[in-house]
Structure 1
Amino acid sequence: MVSEPLEGFDTSQHLYHRLKKAGLTFHPKPVFKDDKDLPFGEKIGENLISAIKRSKVSIPIISENYAASEWCLRELIHIMKCKERGEQNVFPVLYKVKPSEVRELKGDFGRAFKSHKDKFDEEVKQQGPFLCVVLFDRREAELIKELVRQHDFLLPLPGNLVENDHRVAEVMKWVDANASETRIIGICGIGGIGKTTLAKIIYNKLAKEFELCSCIMDIRGTIHCRGIEHIQNLLSSDITRNHGSIVFDSVTGIRKIQFICGKKKVLIVLDDVDCRYHLDKLIGGCDFGLGSRIIITCRDKALLKSEYICCELKEMDGTNSVRLFSSYAFELEQPRMELATLPKDIVATIGGLPLALKIIGSFLKGKHQSIWIETHEKLRKVPHMDVQQKLRISYDSLGYEEQQMFLDIACFFIGIDKRFATYLWEDLQYCPDSGLETMIGLSLMKIDDNNELRMHDQLRDLGRAIARPANKKPWKCSRLWDEKAVIVQRSKVTIISLTGVNMFLAFSW
């Protein structure tokens, strides 16, 4: 996100268009500019904060009048909070302002702040003008060149990441960036085992070695919502750095990918592929350049071709499992004395599945010892491999409205803009903001860079199993989402309607 006061400056114009031309590869809308890219007709404050939260890199351009704008200072506060949480990189720039003027609130910068501060709230007064981190002064062209060169634009990783060095080392051994031949590596394992996180770590380690990169997440879910052509378009756009290209059909799409990748050294990550056909439509027949690396994550290793390298993930070991669980259950705090032994006991019961450790840890954070003991007993009654029943403990802790929102997301709203779902929940007199915040806090769902609702497929399957139990007829269930169920439901309604008509005619006769 390029952030500046609304009147604009030459530096921001140059930087904005240079970054556009550079073609960032992980965001469908790679650069935001406050006065141009934010949706018209909605509350500007909400859109600015939303844009900040979705950004991987923020570049606040701090000018003479920056401190006169409460919104500019408020943006800066939110940007630095995201930086502190490790969610984005920040590269503030001083434009026609001296570092001493910012530090000491002197000159035009200081006068602008002092003349407007009485209108600001307390948080902005205390923090706003002092959060500016300074890059040394230089000519505009050099500054822009240096900023573009320095930006890594790496994939964001979970804030509570517990790296399993053994896992990373094993995959990096097969990747071997120094080897000249093209290598395609498949990372396989059950849902929730950590395939996506591992692929992101590997991608971040390799990205600097490649000029042409693409990382496409959640291919299975995206294809279900938008089709294989959308994924082909993302891949070709990333490689060509032309985000205006469009793929209309899958045959043309794969031909385009084959053409643009021909003899080029590329780094591509394809996350959560579940079908050989989809894989063929994304990289089939491609003559990649020497040194290319293609990383695929999938559950079923049978969809990988024999010439691919297969790395099958196992559960985390006990030590790393406890570390991951504790990072969610206690964050940075030390366990209370009465809970000292419970984490190991619970982890031994859950097993080394990262998703389950994350969900249960988030649920137990801040809970009384009695809840920990009760949860441990519940987990002991669940078969070791029954992941859904373990995850249901967190679902059961939700209030009624939150449970309904969880089921709505699982059945209908994965990959849908948060705003559309919020309109529905507001009409139902729910409290969507607090409900979503609760579910995010329990790691049951998240809102992605595009403001779309996301949920791990294990949690999605849990929600759908609750909404439509296997032993119930479709028309007796609370929600229907697939085509077959909807057809059955329509048939049932038709029968009921016809029966009603017949009864009416018989009575009239």
Structure 2
Amino acid sequence: MAVLLYFLNRSQSSSAKSPLPAGEYEVFLNFRGSDVRYDFADSLHTYLKKYEIRTFFDEEELHKGEEIDSKLLDAIEGSKIYIPIISAKYASSRSPLMELAHMVKCCEKEKGHLILPIFYKVEVGDVKNQRGTFGESFRELAQKHDARTIREWKNALRTVTELKGWTVTPTTRQGVTIDEVFLKARKHLMENYRQVTNQLVGIDSHIEKVKELLNREVQTVGIQGMSGIGKTNIAKAVYDSVSAHFDRCCFVEDVRNILSNGGRIETLQSKIISDILGYDTKVRDPSQGIQFIKDRVCRRKRILIVLDNIDRSFELDTTLGDLANFHPESRFIVTTVDEEILKFFPKCESYKPDLMNDDIALQLFSRHAFGSDYPPTGYMDLSQDFVEVAAGLPLAIKAIGSVVFRKDKKFWVAKLKMFREIPDEQVQKRLKIVYEELSLDEKHIFLDIACYFIGEPTDRPSFLWDDSNLHPLVSIDTLCLKAFIKINERNELWMHDQYKLLGRDIVREEDIVNPWKRSRMWSNKDVLNMLRDKQGSDRLEVLQHRKSTVIKILEAYKYKNLSGLRYLEVRYGRLTGDFNGILPNLRWLRLDGCCPIPSDLNLKSLVVLEMHGCPVAERIGEAGVGLRLLSSLCFLPPFFTSVSW
């Protein structure tokens, strides 16, 4: 566990470092002579490129004058690591010496740079004191330059000879040396530069919490939560923070997408094996991949593998095999919306990111809406309204902020009204991917909750769903595991506002023009218009009719087209007229206010009856006698237990 304790204990000092600004290059190779260029330097350059480390390699031989070429100057100052490859012919030209002197100046001027010297078939002492063949070349060159320049070169040479580096002799295994140089360079880059976008805010607390889990006796940490909560960004940030302390690392982004778009298990295995071993590897089938991982990959001492966005199409056993084959200090990080998947990973602990609090959310929104950490004068109230709509979901906060970037206030106000009813297109697209993976039963229940039952005790709609053979216990469990909903401490259904907007928009798309042709209606205005115009269809399953000053008397004939209605809620209205043969499939009746039950209303299939706000006698009306015969009822108001029939 030493390596894990090491990076956890260093987290404070590492995070306190100011990363160097990102330049075009990360590594600058400095050398002289074709013997080095086409041998060691070329091999090292190729190796670094393979691992996508941006490396400057002067193939054009830009340095021709007395001063350093501007392109070379930018490359040196922008790079974080300098690798001078000093050979016997190194001092035969002023170019590498001028570059070396500038590297040393950059290191003295700004922290974060690193020099990794390589002494190629030359003694370190000869370089330091300008002796031997190296010294002869240096003295010959010195005759052509002034004393100040020579002094700078000597100081630079003395500086690099006092640093820890590598000496390459004719018997040195150059491949081993190149591998060691690469590991040292990668470690420095990871410690000084995060690859995660600078638009992220509030990420540090997530990094520390995941590190704490990695430091325990666990092999896998599962970052689990709803789509858009920032799981991938957290995984990337942790990867950048700790990967330098492992021997080999691999980050596989969006595994679900790879496997769902024609990618096979062996494609995934080939990616992992290639990243770990450092060269392209193709496996024919999963069994060969498993054997290859066991024989070649697991032998590497400490490995970090991140599998981003896995779902139930990912099979641990057929992809990586037995995780017990890996070194005890190897670690795995997975991100998923589905908590159930984590059960397949041994020694796994989950981390569930919280939604952003208002202060952090406002900062993130401001970054994307204004390019600053705080709203400008006159935009605070509007910004807080947008943050409220996003409800702490990072994906929504960033998307909404980007939409209103550099727009005037009229546009802001119009968009705010729209976002309160319809989710942002980018957010909807992401959330809908996970929705489409639900079963038909799960989709049905999800839409019911999104449209009506947020804040409802779980048991009551479950009676309705069970009567419709939607298997609510299983479906609700799945929706919870996939972070679509939560059940709070009062056993009430909870759903994030962005999922609520998604669900309602899915229903809205059933018929954009005619709300009464949809399966669900929740807008009181739409309900009033439908009843007034005597519209409706047998497709409508759920109807809420709330307090209205326009319609108080609700005649039976206005419901005659609603034969498919399962749920009816009437508040502060009175059902009147002939209900014989109307609403034959009603399962749940909720009456609020003085609403006696019509005597001819079909109650044979009712499973939930709720009545609030009136004396018992008023509520029951002439239908009271029939209630004794309703064997299908699963829920009755508490007052029914005290009524003598």
**TM-score band, normalised by the shorter chain?**
0.5 to 0.7
Question: Is the CA contact 2:366–2:373 (under 8 Å) kept in the aligned structure 1?
Answer: no
Instruction: Choose which of 329, 354, 379 in structure 1 pairs with 2:419.
Output: 379
Corresponding residue pairs, total: 334
Gap change, CA 1:265 and 1:137, over 3 Å in 2: closer
More helix by share: 1
Q: Could you tell me which amino acid in structure 2 is paired with residue 388 of structure 1?
A: Q
Matches of 1:204 and 1:193, distance apart in 2: 19
Partner of 2:340: 302
Q: Normalized against structure 2, the TM-score is what?
A: 0.44
Instruction: Choose which of 410, 420, 428 in structure 2 pairs with 1:388.
Output: 428
Per the alignment, in what secondary structure is the counterpart of residue 343 of structure 2? coil
Matches of 2:219 and 2:195, distance apart in 1: 24
Matches of 2:225 and 2:158, distance apart in 1: 45
Gap change, CA 1:193 and 1:100, over 3 Å in 2: closer
Instruction: Choose which of 389, 393, 400 in structure 2 pairs with 1:360.
Output: 400
Matches of 2:181 and 2:297, distance apart in 1: 28
Question: Is the CA contact 1:229–1:253 (under 8 Å) kept in the aligned structure 2?
Answer: yes
Partner of 1:229: 266
Check if 1:281 corresponds to 2:318.
yes
Alignment of 1:39-50 (within 5 A): none
Partner of 1:349: 389
Question: Is the CA contact 1:62–1:92 (under 8 Å) kept in the aligned structure 2?
Answer: no
Partner of 1:200: 236
Gap change, CA 1:137 and 1:228, over 3 Å in 2: same
Question: Is the CA contact 1:261–1:289 (under 8 Å) kept in the aligned structure 2?
Answer: no
Matches of 1:292 and 1:358, distance apart in 2: 34
Q: Deviations over 1:43-67 (max 9, x none)?
A: xxxxxxxxxxxx5533355997337
Residues 188-197 or 137-146, more deviating: 137-146
Gap change, CA 1:141 and 1:291, over 3 Å in 2: closer
Q: Could you tell me which amino acid in structure 2 is paired with residue 172 of structure 1?
A: K
Q: Over aligned residue pairs, what C-alpha RMSD do you find?
A: 4.7
Matches of 2:245 and 2:70, distance apart in 1: 37
Alignment of 1:467-486 (within 5 A): none
Matches of 1:56 and 1:341, distance apart in 2: 45
Partner of 1:168: 207
Per the alignment, in what secondary structure is the counterpart of residue 327 of structure 2? coil
How far off is 1:196 after superposition?
0.8
Of structures 1 and 2, the one scoring higher in RCO (CA 8 A, sep 6+) is: 1
Alignment of 1:68-467 (within 5 A): 90-91=80-81, 96-98=96-98, 149-152=184-187, 153-154=189-190, 156-176=195-215, 179=216, 181=217, 183-223=219-259, 224-241=261-278, 243-262=279-298, 264-275=301-312, 277-286=314-323, 287-305=325-343, 307=346, 308-332=348-372, 335-382=375-422, 387-388=427-428
Question: Is the CA contact 1:182–1:289 (under 8 Å) kept in the aligned structure 2?
Answer: no
Question: Is the CA contact 2:29–2:83 (under 8 Å) kept in the aligned structure 1?
Answer: no
Question: Is the CA contact 2:231–2:353 (under 8 Å) kept in the aligned structure 1?
Answer: yes
Question: Is the CA contact 2:246–2:302 (under 8 Å) kept in the aligned structure 1?
Answer: yes
Among the aligned pairs, what percent are the same residue? 27
Unaligned runs of 5+ residues in structure 1 are 32-54, 84-88, 109-133, 393-457, 473-509
Unaligned runs of 5+ residues in structure 2 are 1-24, 85-94, 106-140, 142-156, 169-177, 433-497, 513-645
Question: Is the CA contact 2:45–2:57 (under 8 Å) kept in the aligned structure 1?
Answer: no
Question: Is the CA contact 1:193–1:355 (under 8 Å) kept in the aligned structure 2?
Answer: yes
Matches of 2:340 and 2:64, distance apart in 1: 59
Question: Is the CA contact 2:213–2:349 (under 8 Å) kept in the aligned structure 1?
Answer: yes
Question: Is the CA contact 1:213–1:267 (under 8 Å) kept in the aligned structure 2?
Answer: yes
How far off is 1:9 after superposition?
5.3
Question: Is the CA contact 1:379–1:390 (under 8 Å) kept in the aligned structure 2?
Answer: no
Per the alignment, in what secondary structure is the counterpart of residue 213 of structure 1? strand
Q: Normalized against structure 1, the TM-score is what?
A: 0.54
Gap change, CA 1:364 and 1:390, over 3 Å in 2: farther
Matches of 1:170 and 1:196, distance apart in 2: 15
Q: Could you tell me which amino acid in structure 2 is paired with residue 66 of structure 1?
A: H
Per the alignment, in what secondary structure is the counterpart of residue 185 of structure 1? strand
Q: Could you tell me which amino acid in structure 2 is paired with residue 234 of structure 1?
A: K
Partner of 1:450: none
How far off is 1:160 after superposition?
0.9
Gap change, CA 1:142 and 1:343, over 3 Å in 2: farther
Per the alignment, in what secondary structure is the counterpart of residue 97 of structure 2? coil
How far off is 1:197 after superposition?
0.8
Q: Deviations over 1:193-251 (max 9, x none)?
A: 1111111122222212211222111212223243221210111122223x132111122
Gap change, CA 1:102 and 1:313, over 3 Å in 2: closer
